[in-house]
Amino acid sequence: IIAVNWKLNPSSIQEADGLAKGVASLLGDETCASSSAADCTEVVVFPPFPFISSVVDDLAGVGVGVGAQSIFHTAESGAYTGAVSASMVTSLGCQYVLCGHSERRTVFKDDDEAINKKVLKVIEDGMRPVLCIGETEEEYDAGLCADVCKLQLAKDLAGVSAAAMKDVVIAYEPVWAIGTGKVCPCDVAQTVHKTIRDYLAELYDRSTADAVRIQYGGSVTPESVDELMAQPDIDGCLVGGASLVAEKFARICNFVRK
């Protein structure tokens, strides 16, 4: 599964439509919709809220899913100015929701309790959460990567059953590599992904853990994607900046299988 997070981009609906249509025109035959059982690459786009409906229309029929970058987990309606509920994005055609992205954790102060509630709400409303976890540069330098990832998994997946894990995607994002140009070596990323999978086996069981898709996110580029996707425990990528150029994003989606 290759997912792209447009974050606070682009600046207009016209640009969003152009980017979505550009990506759709460049994807190869190996991409597929989430409902497909074929051995192919599922592609999901996470546009800003105002562009979701238009992007859903732009990508209809080309095997690309659409998700929301976050939701309000406390209520479906009421006096919550600026909030967007799970039912709202579901009604627009969203299939996925990002939960726990590092920018939501740091800029918007989403803590693990809130992230856990979002994960549960997304599942309850019939969508699939992409749970983002990962360590800061200080934690990485201190050798705390595994501990941080395990703690976030334990807290953020509390109350999620083994049966529900079939709809959960985990995205490992070393925070120090997001948008910085710094690259997490492929062998290091593989080691962390294996640690995550092994810990999921402790939380649930080996069969459940092996079935969970674990993405890598952190300055993924057309130049790095092939080697990343060749690693046995890396099941996809969560792409940021490179997704804003249709040609770069399409190259990532059409990675060379090894």
Which one from 101, 103, 135, 193 is the annotated catalytic residue?
Answer: 101
Active-site residue, from 42, 103, 173, 193: 173
Using the structure block, give the residue that is written with the tokens 């606070």: 8
Give catalytic status of residue 138 as yes or no. Answer: no
Tokens 């399409």 identify what position? 250
Contact assessment for residue 216 and residue 193, using Cβ atoms and an 8 Å cutoff: yes
CA dihedral 217, 218, 224, 228 (to 10 degrees): -40
Contact between 189 and 172 (Cβ < 8 Å): yes
Is 73 catalytic? The answer is no
Just list the catalytic residues.
Answer: 101, 173
